[in-house]
Amino acid sequence: MVKVGRPPQDPARQLERAHRILDAAAELILRWGYDKTTIDDVAKRAGVAKGTIYLHWKTRDELFAALLRRERVRMLEDVRASEPATVSELFGRFVSVALRRPLLRAVLMGDSEVLGKITRSKRQSTTALELGGAFDTYLKRLIELGAVRAEPGDHTTVISSIVYGFVALPDMLPEEERLPDERIAELVADTVERAMDTGRPPSAAVARATRDFIEAMVEVARHKLADSLGAEERVT
């Protein structure tokens, strides 16, 4: 005897609904901040029942993690499209793209008005630099190619300090002395180059290593997003 039940939902429709919920969450969090945005608010804005959201994520924090993961995927894809060829260009583009995306900008700047308790509990690492082992492999390759100096070492710390230092600087300056975002990105790229570059002209091998690193980051970010969405399709 065949058991008759409710047919499974179309995965494509489920994925579309998940993105619609994330769109609503992004809009409300940027408007009211994370602490003041409730699941009820998100459900109403997305045009779904509250229980529908819990079919996708068990908690508000899980929903927000999925939102930040989606932002990270889109940011990395934009960086990839800009085709940086060197490590300095890579981080200049990273900052340029991130500062154009309001949620990622809030993460980079530690904006408590937007992120609320997420900032206070230091859980915003979902979209921090997250360079990981792939970056170590990338840097090792650049050192082998003579594009990056091996000394003084601690390259990840140096780059992180440059990125976060320049991004945080505007908040410490009077309004009239603050630089445009694109100038900040240019300064990040220039400072990374001065701190790490050997002075040799960029080669095709360096550009290829940079491209491979970005591809690896995109793939990891897509898998993490897919896990958060519970879907085979990575991103729209």
Token pair listed for 202: 């960029």
Which pLDDT score, from 0 to 100, does residue 174 have?
85
Q: Which of 48-62, 109-123, 139-153, 212-226 has the lowest mean pLDDT?
A: 109-123
| Residues 104-136: tens digit of each pLDDT | 999 888 888 888 877 655 444 444 567 778 899
Q: Give the C-alpha separation, 144 to 229, whole Å.
A: 39
Amino acid at 45: R
Contact 168, 61 (CB under 8 A): no
Whether this model's pTM surpasses 0.75: yes
Q: Which among 180, 230, 222 is positioned nearest to 71, based on CA atoms?
A: 222
The stretches of 33-101 forming alpha helices (DSSP H) are 39-46, 50-56, 60-81, 87-100
Is it true that the peptide bond before 174 is cis, omega within 30 degrees of 0?
no
pLDDT of 57 over the 70 cut: yes
pLDDT of 170 over the 80 cut: no
* Burial (0-12, 13-18, 19+ Cβ within 10 Å), 81: exposed
